[in-house]
Chain A
Amino acid sequence: SQQGEEDPQALSIQEGENATMNCSYKTSINNLQWYRQNSGRGLVHLILIRSNEREKHSGRLRVTLDTSKKSSSLLITASRAADTASYFCATDGGSNYKLTFGKGTLLTVNP
């Protein structure tokens, strides 16, 4: 079964609002990462959170990790139209580098 299941599958918000995306996974991990993908492009690494961390911030991004629930959330604050993209979580399943990606959340930020 695939690790990294995100929800919601699609999210549409207005500029300035916050966007929260969730990710669940099934096996133990060393770290969990979030990536962003603009349509028809490659992925860009956003943030990595290690299994012994509970929360991490990077600019307007806030990631939480609950290993007991095997879940993570990505919060984008004060969203902008340029944040429109698909967001994927990825887990390493305890094996370095070999990441398994979730299905992604398509975020649309309306100006």
Chain B
Amino acid sequence: GAVVSQHPSRVICKSGTSVKIECRSLDFQATTMFWYRQFPKQSLMLMATSNEGSKATYEQGVEKDKFLINHASLTLSTLTVTSAHPEDSSFYICSATGTGGTTNEKLFFGSGTQLSVL
């Protein structure tokens, strides 16, 4: 099946620094990628939707200047948490969907990134 690779799996950073998380589709073209945030024992909250070559669409309440999303190619999307603060600590998950076959019927998820801001 389709594979989505997300890196890093875990990152610890100091408050005020920026962290970049990468999401790659390894064996299909991801026309659309989604970024989610998940707090412990809670559901996934959609942060933004990104389409290759265009600006991301952010959900209400998500600061686009804080969570920078770039979807420069059909296989790579990045989420940069700028000037991270402890309240940004969370589990971030990307997902992707493609075109054709079964890749456009469901989402393929990365393994997630646990961000801890000290």
Which residues of A are interface residues toward B (Cβ below 8 A)?
Answer: 2, 4, 31, 33, 35, 40-45, 48, 88, 90, 96-104, 106
Q: Given the interface contacts A42-B6, A88-B44, A106-B41, does A97 sit within 8 Å of B107 by beta carbon?
A: yes
Q: How many residues of B contact A (CB 8 A)?
A: 25
Chain A contacts for B42, CB-based, 8 A: 103-104
Closest chain A CB from B51 CB (angstroms): 10
- How distant is the Cα of A33 from the Cα of B108 in the complex, in angstroms? 12
Closest chain B CB from A95 CB (angstroms): 10
- Which 5 residue pairs of A and B lie closest in terms of their CB atoms, listed nearest first? A42-B109, A43-B109, A42-B111, A101-B44, A45-B106
B93 on interface, CB distance cutoff 8 Å: yes
Q: Secondary structure of the B side of the interface?
A: strand
Closest chain A CB from B32 CB (angstroms): 6
- How distant is the Cα of A88 from the Cα of B42 in the complex, in angstroms? 10
Q: Given the interface contacts A100-B46, A101-B43, A101-B44, does A43 sit within 8 Å of B93 by beta carbon?
A: yes
A-B contact count (CB 8 A): 58
Which residues of B are interface residues toward A (Cβ below 8 A)?
Answer: 4, 6, 32, 34, 36, 41-44, 46, 49, 91, 93, 95, 97, 104-112, 114
**Chain A residue nearest to B32 in the complex (CB):** A97
B46 and A41 form a contact (CB under 8 A): no
- How distant is the Cα of A33 from the Cα of B105 in the complex, in angstroms? 10
- How distant is the Cα of A31 from the Cα of B97 in the complex, in angstroms? 15
Chain B contacts for A100, CB-based, 8 A: 46
A42 and B106 form a contact (CB under 8 A): no
Chain B contacts for A43, CB-based, 8 A: 44, 93, 95, 107, 109
- How distant is the Cα of A41 from the Cα of B114 in the complex, in angstroms? 9
**Chain B residue nearest to A100 in the complex (CB):** B46
Chain A contacts for B95, CB-based, 8 A: 42-43
Chain A contacts for B41, CB-based, 8 A: 106
